[in-house]
Structure 1
Amino acid sequence: MWTPLPGCKANGIYSTYHPYIYASPQRQTWLDQAEPEYSVYDFDNYRYFLGPNLQVGNIYPRDYARTFFDGMRESGQENPVNLLRCAWAGSQKYGALVWSGDIASSWSSFRNQLAAGLNMGIAGLPWWTTDIGGFHGGIPGDESFRELFVRWFQWGAFCPVMRLHGDREPKNGGLSSSSGAPNEIWSYGPVVYEICRKYLLIREQLRGYTRRLMAEAHKKGSPVIRPLFYEFPDDPQCWKLGATQYMYGDAYLCCPVVEKGMRKMDVYLPTLEHGEQWAFFSYTESEGRTWEGGSIIEVDCPLDWMPVFVRKSRA
């Protein structure tokens, strides 16, 4: 069903969806396509009530989120959060949790997600997620894809929302009822399972910290994942680095492994205030060695570990 936006009166539209949504005990909804989905990418030919697509088209995802948000609030639900794959300035006011869409299961797509998430946060949309492992393709039994899946999963533990989804190969069923192969963490073998289990525990360990970041995002609009220059604007080196490193809040420096086969990497530790130090983060505790910052170091990144450093004064 297409919601007839933007420009027309949509106050009664939510009532059409209401019986289906509230037949389930769930109170968050996967609204999916919010662009809307175009069968032909010929934007000159699309028209809305308010005007041509090229002039007003980006209003659609915002009003789409707002329609459901207002309807859910009016029906008595507090703080609705809905999963959408498209947003625009202002969507964050209407409970929009945005994911990056049906992306490829590839290393290049993985690298693109880092930049996408950081840009979304800077643009004022802190609730953002991605399909861990990508959506299109990927064979759980293939060792090459397993490596990509692990690296994506590790990064996902330090994203605003950690979310696993994908249409894996080989597909089962006929053309009208085909479904992807299993995609649970135990579908990738015992080695991958143990790594993913560790990162789920890390995510749980960071629950309180993540709640604080979400509260800060709500009050101040601060991004949950942050480019280095956001947290360290006086460090010139932080403006030169791309999306290969970022901050999870103000305490954790995350260094995702975005290249196949990488087992060592160079990491830049931003300059800290006097008396502050960086330390390795681990699941059990921070390791003993510390750094003052303002330098590049080489670190190991075996398959079961994504380098993360903790700013000890902020954790």
Structure 2
Amino acid sequence: MTLNLKLVISWMIIISALLIFNSCSKPYEKSKSGIIYEIPCSENESIKKISISVLSPVIIKVSIAENDSLLVVPSIIAKEKLGAEVRFDVSSKDEYIKISTDSIIVYLDKKTGEISFHDVYNSLLLATTKNEITPYKLGNDSSYKIKQHFLWTENEALYGLGQHELNTLNLRGQKIELSQHNTRVSIPVLLSTKGYGLYWDNYSQSYYQDSNDSSYLASDVADKIQYYFVKGRQFDHIIAGLRELTGESPMLPRWAFGYFQSRNRYKTKNELLGVVKKHRDLNIPLDAVILDYMHWGDKGFGSMVFDSIDFSQPEQMIDDLHRKYNCKLITSVWPSFNKQSANWQLFNKDSLFLGLDLGHFGDVYDAYNPKAGELYWSMVKKSYWDKGVDGIWFDATEPEQLKRFKNTQCYLGPTAKYQNLFSYFDMKNVFEPQLEIDTNRVFVLTRSAFLGQQKFGSVVWSGDIGTDFKTLKEQIPTGLNFCMTGIPYWNTDIGGYLGGDPSDENYQEVFVRWFQYGAFTPMFRAHGRRHPFSSRSGENEMWSFGAKNQEILTDMINLRYRLLPYIYTLSNKVHSDGYTLMRALVFDFINDESVYNIVDQFLVGNIMVCPVTEKGAVERKVYLPKGCDWFDFWTGKKHTGGQTIIAAAPIERIPLFVKSGTILPLADVMQYSSEKALDNIELRIYPGENADFVLYEDEGDNYNYKQGGFSTIQFTYNEEGNTVSVGGIKGEFEGMLQKRTYQITKVSEGVAVGIEKTISGNIVNYNGNAIKVKL
């Protein structure tokens, strides 16, 4: 065969292929929000419809289904529209359709359906390859198994997916099952160092895999493939986009950032009140005490009563906590009901159970059913809120026994299709009606979560974890990855849950190191079932671990309370700016690849926290991110960023470093968060670059901030002029201070360091008007 003949045949094959493609291809449909395109027909595959919707200049929704009706099934979690219509352009070439906003360019391959996302400079951010939609019979219901393959690049780091007890932060090369268990919280959100986030919009058991030959997200039960692409230069921008899409996080009450004391469990009201009284007598700050399960005595799970002997006159006990001790009470509630309880009868008569019998724990209510949710809330309200309880600890909200749970039928259909959403609906059932009747901010603690649950004021804890250094080490990246999914408030049982003897020196070290770490998690709470187990739990209070350790633990609580103005201001940024309180280093140093795989350091604002997780350690390695200087909080010594140092870490000290260009407000130590007005704040200035900080204040425990009931004061440090400017106060709220005193000190070695208040400094009497101070 001659060369010319070969060329002719080749061209004929190409032309034939193009003719076949064009004969099957249909033009895309353009709508106000995007396009719908039908993938060309194939002998081996069914026709697929692809919808690409532009929800904002930086948020793109992708849906892929086998028919139009499934394509438009609304998301349970994500909003269908985000404000005003977005301007975007659509153009079509032979090979692709191009959709562009002022921030994103999306290409859809007409032949394969592959989609790629680019920035405005046409640099690739993310590409998809093949997808699979496989028919699947779920009982009597027709459904699909789905899988979408992604091409993640070699130098890209990925984070998120929730809480999975991995001693790793970067999720590249991992294989993770996304389902809810005690100690596992699965949230299908990924953040990439290439500047985007991905929300996989599915609620069934799902899977993430990243390997050389097959990288994908997949789910067991679905109507369609659906995901959201969110572009952002920084992780804060991406998370702000996710919260715009799924719900903003409300302000928690100020007391939620104080110290919580708990154990499994306080057996009588006298024991509980005695612990709170001892805190006050010893001047150990405390904002809340937790009354764990079994406070209902022999009445059974779901009875929602206080035992008539051990917790007689509960209203008086709660009133004593409030009036005598200025302490809040949190009580434990479960989603299950024992058959001997009157509440079980009320659910059962209207068939409001899931059909999941947990034996001793009872039957689990159908949280997906609005009628069941209304009944559940009415019981919680009558039994706890109406008696003065300040917050609820919702336990076992996965719920337990996943395999049996997902084989039940819920209000929405086969539970397997919605299994990861139980906690979402459980919290929705109690948050939304409380907003209608209560002026106080909702506080709930729960063991499970899903994206969107942040709008219900949820605080999540990591479940019944171990009590050793290995577990502590795992909890640090576990919590950081959880907080990178858009839900900002997370904590652990300080000291772990099951085990630990307070009289054992080895365990005392674990507890102290864990407590130091816990002082910098969003919620600061000790809990556990300690030795001896004969009475459910031994002691778990500050004084239980010996006099020396009590002093160390008290110092950490004092530091937490000194930091409250800073932490509370950051919590307002969580609400108003999409901020994240507990931050992996990549949040603020995304251009420093050295931080991508650091699992045991994190930021709270500009404070870098470096927990100690090795037995007997008195020092540890610390990487100081480049681009700034770092000051040792305890000594004031300055270090240049971009290097690894050996930090001193005696048992009484957790290594802390503060970024140059930081203004750190520190309050006087308080015994509870509202004991004192913030009229005597120490401002520590960490020099080396200009700094800015806007102090936020409000009434602390109502929703008046939503109507403008708050104030801000801006502090600005000028490095060249060596001055601090205090701006005029903006806004107002009931009880706001009109005058206050600031003590301003520039940090240097040995000056303005540690927990104690600095003696020296510039004293500024502030009356609400702008003032400039020369340091």
Fold equivalence (TM over 0.5): yes
Work out which of the residue numbers 551, 569, 574 in structure 2 matches 1:212.
569
Paired residue for 2:366?
Answer: 4
Paired residue for 1:194?
Answer: 551
How far 1:300 moved relative to its partner?
A: 1.7
Work out which of the residue numbers 138, 151, 167 in structure 1 matches 2:513.
151
How many Å separate the matches in 2 of 1:186 and 1:232? 40
Paired residue for 1:279?
Answer: 631
Work out which of the residue numbers 608, 612, 616 in structure 2 matches 1:261.
616
Cα deviation digits, residues 145-164 of structure 1 (max 9, x gap)? 00000000000111111101
Secondary structure class of the residue paired with 2:428: helix
Paired residue for 1:138?
Answer: 500
User: TM-score, normalized by length of structure 2?
Assistant: 0.38
How far 1:269 moved relative to its partner?
A: 0.2
How far 1:43 moved relative to its partner?
A: 5.4
Contact 1:140 1:183 survives alignment (8 Å): yes
Greater CA deviation, 194-203 or 71-80? 71-80
Paired residue for 2:443?
Answer: 81
Work out which of the residue numbers 630, 639, 646 in structure 2 matches 1:291.
639
How many Å separate the matches in 1 of 2:588 and 2:481? 14
How far 1:81 moved relative to its partner?
A: 1.3
How far 1:12 moved relative to its partner?
A: 3.8
Paired residue for 2:658?
Answer: 310
AA aligned opposite 1:134? G
Is the aligned partner of 1:252 residue 2:615? no
Paired residue for 2:588?
Answer: 231
How far 1:7 moved relative to its partner?
A: 4.3
AA aligned opposite 2:651? L
Contact 2:399 2:405 survives alignment (8 Å): no
Contact 1:255 1:306 survives alignment (8 Å): yes
Paired residue for 2:649?
Answer: 301
Is the aligned partner of 1:21 residue 2:384? yes
Greater CA deviation, 305-314 or 4-13? 4-13
Contact 1:3 1:64 survives alignment (8 Å): no
Contact 1:138 1:168 survives alignment (8 Å): yes
Is the aligned partner of 1:34 residue 2:390? no
Moved over 6 A (4+): none
Secondary structure class of the residue paired with 2:531: strand
Contact 1:121 1:222 survives alignment (8 Å): no
How many Å separate the matches in 2 of 1:153 and 1:22? 30
How many Å separate the matches in 2 of 1:212 and 1:3? 38
Work out which of the residue numbers 103, 112, 115 in structure 1 matches 2:465.
103
How far 1:205 moved relative to its partner?
A: 1.0
Equivalences for residues 44-55 of structure 1 within 5 A: 45-55=407-417
Greater CA deviation, 15-24 or 2-11? 2-11
Contact 2:488 2:580 survives alignment (8 Å): yes
How many Å separate the matches in 2 of 1:244 and 1:226? 11
AA aligned opposite 1:203? R
Secondary structure class of the residue paired with 1:169: coil
How far 1:44 moved relative to its partner?
A: 5.1
Larger Rg: 2
Distance 1:51 1:259, change over 3 A: farther
How many Å separate the matches in 1 of 2:404 and 2:399? 13
AA aligned opposite 1:16? M
How far 1:234 moved relative to its partner?
A: 0.9
How many Å separate the matches in 2 of 1:37 and 1:44? 10
How far 1:261 moved relative to its partner?
A: 1.6
Work out which of the residue numbers 528, 537, 549 in structure 2 matches 1:166.
528
Is the aligned partner of 1:70 residue 2:432? yes
AA aligned opposite 1:180? S
Q: What root-mean-square deviation, in Å, do the aligned CA atoms of Structure 1 and Structure 2 show?
A: 1.6
AA aligned opposite 1:33? A
How many Å separate the matches in 2 of 1:280 and 1:143? 29
AA aligned opposite 1:87? A
Paired residue for 1:175?
Answer: none
Paired residue for 1:112?
Answer: 474
How many Å separate the matches in 1 of 2:403 and 2:507? 31
Name stretches of at least 5 consecutive residues in structure 1 with no aligned partner.
173-177
Cα deviation digits, residues 266-307 of structure 1 (max 9, x gap)? 1100012xxx4210113xxxx232012000111121111110
AA aligned opposite 1:248? V
AA aligned opposite 1:266? K
Contact 1:130 1:163 survives alignment (8 Å): yes
AA aligned opposite 1:186? W
Cα deviation digits, residues 82-118 of structure 1 (max 9, x gap)? 1111111111100111111111112121112111211
AA aligned opposite 1:240? N
Q: Relative to total residues, which structure has the larger helix share, 1 or 2? A: 1
Contact 2:494 2:527 survives alignment (8 Å): yes
Name stretches of at least 5 consecutive residues in structure 2 with no aligned partner.
1-336, 338-363, 665-775
Secondary structure class of the residue paired with 1:234: coil
Distance 1:98 1:118, change over 3 A: same
How far 1:37 moved relative to its partner?
A: 2.2
Secondary structure class of the residue paired with 2:657: strand
Contact 1:217 1:223 survives alignment (8 Å): yes
Matched pairs, number: 300
Contact 2:367 2:429 survives alignment (8 Å): no
Contact 1:15 1:71 survives alignment (8 Å): no
Contact 1:225 1:248 survives alignment (8 Å): yes
How far 1:3 moved relative to its partner?
A: 3.3
Paired residue for 1:57?
Answer: 419
Contact 1:61 1:87 survives alignment (8 Å): yes
Distance 1:112 1:46, change over 3 A: farther
AA aligned opposite 1:212? T
Identity %: 34
How many Å separate the matches in 1 of 2:497 and 2:660? 36
Q: Relative to total residues, which structure has the larger strand share, 1 or 2? A: 2
Secondary structure class of the residue paired with 1:131: coil
How many Å separate the matches in 2 of 1:98 and 1:75? 24
Contact 1:34 1:64 survives alignment (8 Å): yes
How far 1:42 moved relative to its partner?
A: 4.5
Contact 2:629 2:641 survives alignment (8 Å): yes
Paired residue for 2:538?
Answer: 181
How many Å separate the matches in 1 of 2:471 and 2:588? 26
